[in-house]
Structure 1
Amino acid sequence: MKRLLPSPLLSLVLLFTWLLMNQSLEVAHLLLGTLLAIIAPLLARPLQPHGYARIRRPLALLRLLAHASVEVLRSCFNVSRIILFARPEGLNSQFIRIPLDMRSPHGLALLAGIINLTPGTVWVEVLPDSHELALHVFDLHDAQWWIDTIKGQYEVPLMEIFEG
């Protein structure tokens, strides 16, 4: 079954999206949508070198995404305030290193997405020799706060979601 449907959830979402786009439940649309829902994940399999992600705790993922959304909004206001009202000489733009325990490529990819969506921060790279995240912060005041935030509020839930 896994050979025919490598990602059943993806296939279901594709079929549902196809039916919504066509606004029809006719047999022809059901058959064509089902065919696409089976073929598309099979064709996309080579693009997933680590396989499809297994989400072990979906509720933890929803909590993490809700928390990240709030942080993105909060950061939007903070960065806007800094750009509009702060003096340029008062900015402390720096790179920091954050040691990571997470090894899941899916978790690292989601962490990179969350960090890069947050205004004022940029994921630079994971240093291969030390497995540390190099992070650029637009206005750094407390490096330890960033380390605690990334490790506690993002890395721990991501490890719970993707690593078990």
Structure 2
Amino acid sequence: MKRLLPYPLLAFFLLLAWLALNDTLEPAQLLIGIAAGVAGAAAYARLEPPRRKVRRLAVPALQLLGAVALDIVQSNLAVARIALRMRRAPRIAGFLRIPLELGDPAGLAVLACIVTATPGTSWARYDAAASVLTLHVLDLADEQAWVLAFKRRYERRLLEIFG
């Protein structure tokens, strides 16, 4: 049964959603809803990533969380200064290419969330073949310092977690 319907609760809720969206209990809509639920559950089973073992989680994850929280606060203040024109020095925005050692999809997803949550930076492109991340940075003063800080604060800890 598990092989035929790997996620029965998902199939059931997809059926309920279908019926609620169509606002009917007609037999034809019920059959379409059942088919959609079974197909959705089967598709989800194929998309589910393989389970992996995380090597060391507690210490690197807490360090990463602390670094991200601090960076988010600092970035919010820096962006506010730029937006309110409180900073007199000229601002240089630009794209930054960062070579990555991290190749794990889950680690890259966490890295994308970190970049997205940090004001003043945005994930522009990831070249999987060259393993190069391109970021857009609102205040890019020293490219080499940015790359080193990024690798030290985020990538090193993610490598410890996802290896």
User: Is the TM-score greater than 0.5?
Assistant: yes
Aligned-pair Cα RMSD in Å: 2.5
CA deviation after TM superposition for structure 1 residue 130, in Å: 1.7
Considering only CA atoms, is the larger Rg found in Structure 1 or Structure 2?
2
Contact 2:125–2:135 (CA under 8 A) maintained in structure 1: yes
Contact 1:126–1:132 (CA under 8 A) maintained in structure 2: yes
- Aligned partners of 1:90, 1:119: CA distance in 2, in Å? 18
Q: 1:58 to 1:44 in 2, by over 3 A?
A: farther
- The runs of at least 4 consecutive aligned structure 1 residues that moved more than 6 Å come to none
Contact 2:94–2:136 (CA under 8 A) maintained in structure 1: yes
1:133 is aligned to 2:133: yes
For structure 1, list consecutive stretches of 5 or more residues without a partner in the other structure.
Answer: 4-41
Between the two proteins, the alignment pairs up a number of residues equal to: 123
Question: Aligned to 1:90, what secondary structure does the other structure show?
Answer: coil
- Aligned partners of 2:44, 2:56: CA distance in 1, in Å? 24
CA deviation after TM superposition for structure 1 residue 86, in Å: 4.8
Contact 1:94–1:140 (CA under 8 A) maintained in structure 2: yes
Q: How is 1:17-36 mapped onto 2 (pairs within 5 angstroms)?
A: none
1:32-53 superposed Cα distances (whole Å, 9 cap, x missing partner): xxxxxxxxxx9954343x3245
1:154 is aligned to 2:154: yes
Identity %: 38
For structure 2, list consecutive stretches of 5 or more residues without a partner in the other structure.
Answer: 4-41
CA deviation after TM superposition for structure 1 residue 65, in Å: 1.1
The normalised TM-score by structure 2 is 0.67
Question: Aligned to 2:95, what secondary structure does the other structure show?
Answer: strand
Contact 2:81–2:87 (CA under 8 A) maintained in structure 1: no
Question: Aligned to 1:133, what secondary structure does the other structure show?
Answer: strand
